[in-house]
């Protein structure tokens, strides 16, 4: 039986949203538009102490591990904060997992919003019984983001759950299922395998997306999931953006959000399994990045059209 998952209470006008940088460094100019949007929607952005800190150690992190841990624990446990929005992904969220504290958070749960590297924090929250939003970060990447992607995220913050209808894809496998949604960025799902922070895959609907992986690396991650028994355990699979995949020399455009060859590799790797499968869901490192609720109960119907309802 699926554990009861806590959905944070809806936000109201004037509520405070903490902006944090748990992974890669970010410039102030990259967040101005997103922060202004929070203000325009009637909420108060609260910037974490090390939001714009930069610490270089083989990668440009948004501060040392201690600084990033401090900011995230502040956001989790500050009773004045009603939601937490990651500035960006990148790399570094795994550093924080052993040090996260949810003492006050348990009494006052709040939405955590992010994607990409933030997948590991969302897995941590789900293992502790809390839903989160796999959606656009405050920073918009070079490929941008639709207004609707942000609007739908604000809808969830205000208590309105999303319903989606999307076009069918030739790689889809038909069927009708209901279950808890897990997942996020494939590289991080793969990185958590075998750890105490990995998702529980049993009878779940798995979502995956990724960016900038060579095709052999994509297959290696899928093989690891297969060897770990993930595809035997899940009851359904949703595949989002597979952006800028393959050899970097191909100079692929970010417009190729749903790489056909990447989809072919995924389809072949899961061909012996018979769970319903949706390709081409608009979530990931893509322009049309519509939010999903990790830990939410999902109804999926895959026919000529695809219906996905929380």
Cα–Cα distance between 120 and 97 in angstroms, integer? Answer: 8
**Average pLDDT of span 211-216:** 96
Segment 106-127, tens digit of pLDDT = 999 999 999 999 999 999 999 9
SS (H, E, C) 254-283: CCCCECHHHHHHHHHHCCCCCCCEEECCCC
Q: Which residues touch 250 (CB under 8 Å, ≥6 apart)?
A: none
- pLDDT for 293: 98
Segment 269-278, tens digit of pLDDT = 999 999 999 9
Segment 238-285, tens digit of pLDDT = 999 999 999 754 555 545 689 999 999 999 999 999 999 999 999 999
Percent composition of the chain: helix, strand, coil (DSSP 3-state, to 5): 30, 25, 45
Sequence length of the chain is 310
Q: Which residues touch 243 (CB under 8 Å, ≥6 apart)?
A: 143, 210, 211, 212, 254, 256, 257, 259, 284, 285, 286
Segment 46-77, tens digit of pLDDT = 999 999 999 999 999 999 999 999 999 999 99
Burial of 11 (0-12, 13-18, 19+ CB in 10 A): buried
Q: Domains in the chain and their CATH numbers?
A: 16-157 (3.40.50.10740), 163-309 (3.50.30.60)
């Amino acid at each position: 039986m699926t554990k009861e998952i806590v959905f944070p209470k809806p936000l109201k006008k004037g509520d405070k949203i903490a902006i944090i940088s748990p992974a890669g460094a970010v410039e102030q100019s990259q967040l101005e538009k997103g922060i202004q949007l929070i203000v325009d929607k009637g909420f108060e952005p609260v910037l974490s102490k090390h939001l714009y800190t930069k610490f270089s150690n083989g990668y440009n992190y948004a501060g040392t591990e201690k600084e990033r841990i401090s900011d995230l624990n502040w956001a989790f446990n500050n009773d004045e904060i009603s939601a937490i929005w990651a500035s960006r992904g990148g790399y570094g969220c795994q550093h924080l997992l052993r040090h996260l504290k949810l003492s006050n958070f348990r009494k006052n749960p709040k939405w955590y919003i992010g994607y990409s590297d933030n997948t590991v924090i969302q897995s941590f929250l789900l293992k502790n019984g809390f839903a989160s939003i796999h959606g656009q970060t405050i920073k918009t990447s070079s490929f941008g983001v639709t207004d609707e992607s942000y609007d739908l995220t604000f809808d969830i913050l205000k208590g309105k759950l999303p319903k989606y209808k999307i076009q069918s894809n030739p790689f889809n496998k038909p069927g009708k299922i209901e279950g808890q949604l897990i997942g996020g960025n494939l590289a991080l799902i793969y990185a958590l395998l075998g750890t105490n922070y990995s998702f529980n895959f049993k009878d779940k609907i798995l979502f995956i997306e990724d960016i900038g992986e060579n095709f052999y690396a994509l297959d290696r991650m899928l093989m690891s999931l297969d060897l770990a028994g993930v595809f035997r355990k899940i009851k359904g699979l949703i595949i989002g953006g597979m952006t800028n995949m393959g050899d970097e020399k191909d100079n692929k455009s970010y417009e190729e959000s749903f790489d056909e060859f990447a989809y072919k590799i995924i389809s072949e790797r899961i061909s012996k399994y018979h769970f319903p499968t949706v390709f081409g869901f608009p979530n990931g490192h893509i322009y049309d990045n519509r939010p999903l609720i990790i830990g939410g109960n999902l109804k999926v119907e895959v026919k000529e059209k695809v219906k996905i309802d929380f």
